[in-house]
Amino acid sequence: MAGSVLLPKPCLMRLPHYYRRLLQAMHEGQSIISSEELGEEAGVPAAQARKDLSYLGEFGRPGVGYDVYELAAHLEKVLGLNEPKKAILIGVGNLGRALASYPGFARYRLQIAAAFDVDPSKIGQRIGSIPVLPLEELETFIRQKDVRMAILAVPAPQAQSIADRLSAAGIRLIWNFAPVSLRVPEGVKVFNEDLAARLATLSFYLVQHSS
């Protein structure tokens, strides 16, 4: 294992926000930052920010604050933001296309090596520099390029069968945008970005607060 830092999940979710605040501080030429300022960005009290950062080691100086560059560098290391991360994209619909060209991804060194689709009219196209390959080549590609991560943006009915193929071919992490719960074997991690489910919870708040 690389760096066996074990973090509470809510803490991990906040680290990118602290990091973003650090980038802003750098941009503004600020070299020291307080837990108060970091917490504000993540929407938590200063004590929470300090506790979160304390999981990573001791970086702050009492009475002073945190060194912006030092902390940013450490967060980059812990989150692996500087490591190139190879991934493939499955499903070149509207959402798949949008993800393939999402500018935020390259900044964190996500490299989408190829996209896959069943539609013959899409095969051979390029989205930016990403080639669209036929779904039949999925397994070969994964094995040859040793890809560990897949972004799944196919329609719900196809998602499970593709997830099966991905798992069997050696994918360890599936970022799933299809509105379904996937079953995957031990050792494969699924992260769901379920926009339909999210909409349903938004709906609750909308209806709740209306008249």
> Which residues of this chain interact with a second copy, rule CB under 8 A?
1-5, 7, 12-13, 15-17, 19-20, 41-43, 78-81, 83, 85, 93-95, 97-99, 101-105, 107-108, 110, 148-149, 155, 172-173, 175, 179-181, 189, 191, 193-211
From candidates 15, 22, 25, 53, binder to DNA by CB under 7 A:
53
Distance of closest approach, residue 170 Cβ to a second copy, in angstroms: 13
Q: Burial, 185: exposed, middle or buried (Cβ in 10 Å; 0-12, 13-18, 19+)?
A: exposed
Question: What is the Cα 39 distance to its own chain's centre?
Answer: 21
From candidates 46, 81, 118, 135, binder to DNA by CB under 7 A:
46
Give me the residues paired with residue 132 across strands.
Answer: 115
Coil, strand or helix at 126: strand
Distance of closest approach, residue 76 Cβ to a second copy, in angstroms: 10
Nearer to a second copy, 133 or 149 (CB): 149
Interface of this chain with DNA, residues 1 to 40, rule: CB under 7 A? 8-11, 34-36
Q: What DSSP line would sit under 144-180, residue for residue? A: HHT--EEEE-S-HHHHHHHHHHHHHHT--EEEE-SSS
